[in-house]
């Protein structure tokens, strides 16, 4: 990892983001999907998620922007550039949450996008490229297991067949869920971006870790985003009476699942899998009765790494270990990969220009890896992308106690504002010289 600072005497004179305004917008979004047991629950393609998209759309329309919703539920807002034939510089994040999650994950980036659009309007800034703000749908894999659904349709990573393949825990197909939310998945081809539409994508996000806070740094610039392989395992035994069935005559699916969960944790301490993160995040037991031996357990394992070979190798070992445990215990096993996303190295030239923006603003920064998945990871397979992190208090995320200060988020918006104007000039120079943009 690298750390950085600046020797610049005076910060660049640009409009600054307003922490109070950012705080008000975050509070307004947090009122939608508030969970009675704590936190925020705004799952993909639910009325709560759609309501937040409507709220943000209203803010963007009030700024005089062209705003629309694509067929897969992404909200987009365009600010005209001097040359409408050029592809846009895009930025944004997502509005959905995990169950009982926090109020900043994804939201900080969307609110930051709205604040940046306001700064551009207030400064009467003129850009050559159009500017495109995005609030992606269904970034979290909480409902369907598949993460970054909105951005994967945009980037062409998901196809029409995935509308029926991908299902939630209740069996509802993705396309059905979209249609029930008033969307038109039958027109999903219209959501697809090309390099004629977008030249660059930037994302502001809370760190979801404690490195920036621990080091006292204001900005993180992401170089690598971890990959993720998500597996569903179903262990089947025999349900029977908890009192009448001798221990020697049992095929207890839950005990097998518990042994597997310990094996998953042990795998992460293997020196050959250093840096691996593996989580048993969901366990469903049937019949889930105090006086009945569990006959079936469905569990999910989320495996993440910055090395694709380690990631896929660990996933294979988890399934092999599950087979061994089930054979020894007399259990049947079914396994399936729910989603598989490779690690991604973000474009170095984008990161370097974000670094220059930090230095011009006299903000302390460091380069860092993201252990979480993000929409920018997906979009980077189509166009170059960059990520700006701001500190997370205590490193907490996906929980009600998740918190980042509005001041820190405002600093991230300032970096985006300064870099956006720089990227506008830089991309024009590249396009005029070679009629092509830098590769990601």
- What CATH number matches the domain at 227-341, 3.30.70.360, 3.40.50.300, 3.90.380.10, 3.40.50.800? 3.30.70.360
> Which numeric CATH code is attached to 3-226+344-434?
3.40.630.10
pLDDT the model gives residue 4: 53
**What is the Cα–Cα distance from 384 to 349, expressed in whole angstroms?**
9
**Which stretches of 123-190 are DSSP H helices?**
149-155, 162-165, 174-180
Average pLDDT on 192-214 reads 97
What three-state secondary structure class fits 143? coil
pLDDT tens digit sequence for 120-133:
999 999 999 999 99
For the chain, the straight-line distance linking the first and the last C-alpha, in angstroms and rounded, comes to 21
DSSP 337-367: EEEEE--EEPPHHHHHHHHHHHHHTT--EEE
Tell me the longest C-alpha to C-alpha distance in the chain.
81
CB 252, CB 399: distance < 8 Å: no
pLDDT tens digit sequence for 211-226:
999 999 999 999 999 9
pLDDT tens digit sequence for 121-180:
999 999 999 999 999 999 999 999 999 999 999 999 999 999 999 999 899 999 999 999
pTM above 0.75, yes or no: yes
The structural domains of the chain, with segments of one domain joined by +, span: 3-226+344-434, 227-341
Q: Is the pLDDT of residue 438 over 90?
A: no
Q: Is the pLDDT of residue 434 over 90?
A: no
């Amino acid at each position: 990892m690298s750390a950085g600072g600046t020797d610049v005497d005076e910060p660049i004179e640009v409009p600054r983001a307003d922490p109070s305004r950012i705080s008000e917008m975050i509070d307004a979004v947090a009122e939608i999907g508030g969970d009675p047991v704590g936190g925020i629950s705004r799952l993909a393609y639910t009325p709560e998620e759609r309501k937040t998209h409507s709220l943000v759309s209203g803010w963007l329309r009030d700024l005089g922007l062209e705003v629309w919703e694509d067929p897969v539920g992404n909200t987009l807002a365009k600010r005209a550039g001097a040359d409408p034939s050029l592809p846009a510089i895009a930025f944004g994040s997502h509005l959905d949450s995990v169950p009982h999650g926090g109020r900043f994950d994804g939201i900080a980036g969307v609110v930051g996008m709205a604040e940046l659009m306001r700064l551009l309007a207030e400064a009467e800034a003129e850009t050559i490229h159009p500017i495109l703000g995005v609030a992606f749908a269904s970034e979290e894999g909480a409902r369907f297991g598949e993460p970054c659904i909105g951005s994967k349709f945009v980037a062409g990573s998901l196809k029409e067949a995935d509308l029926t393949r991908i299902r939630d825990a209740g069996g509802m197909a993705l396309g059905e869920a979209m249609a029930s939310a008033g969307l038109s998945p039958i027109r999903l081809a219209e959501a697809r971006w090309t390099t004629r539409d977008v030249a660059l994508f930037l994302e502001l996000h809370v760190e979801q870790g404690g490195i920036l806070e621990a080091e006292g740094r204001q900005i993180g610039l992401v170089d690598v985003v971890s990959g993720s392989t998500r597996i569903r395992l179903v262990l089947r035994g025999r349900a029977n009476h908890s009192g009448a069935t001798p221990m020697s005559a049992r095929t207890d699916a839950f005990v097998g699942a518990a042994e597997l969960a310990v094996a998953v944790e042990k795998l992460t301490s293997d020196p050959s899998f250093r840096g691996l993160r593996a989580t048993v995040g969901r366990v469903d037991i049937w019949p889930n009765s105090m006086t009945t031996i569990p006959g079936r357990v469905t569990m999910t394992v989320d495996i993440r790494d910055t090395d694709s070979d380690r990631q896929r190798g660990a996933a294979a070992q988890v399934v092999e270990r599950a087979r061994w445990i089930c054979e020894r215990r007399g259990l049947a096993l079914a396994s399936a990969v729910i989603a598989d996303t490779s690690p991604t190295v973000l474009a170095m030239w984008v990161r370097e220009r974000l670094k220059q923006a930090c230095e011009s603003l006299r903000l302390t920064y460091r380069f860092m890896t993201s252990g979480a998945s993000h929409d920018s990871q997906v979009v980077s397979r189509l166009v170059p992308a960059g990520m700006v992190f701001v500190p997370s208090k205590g490193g907490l995320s996906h929980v009600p106690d998740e918190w980042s200060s509005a001041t820190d988020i405002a600093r991230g918006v300032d970096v985006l504002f300064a870099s956006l104007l720089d990227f506008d000039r830089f991309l024009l120079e590249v396009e005029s010289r070679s009629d092509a943009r830098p590769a990601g």
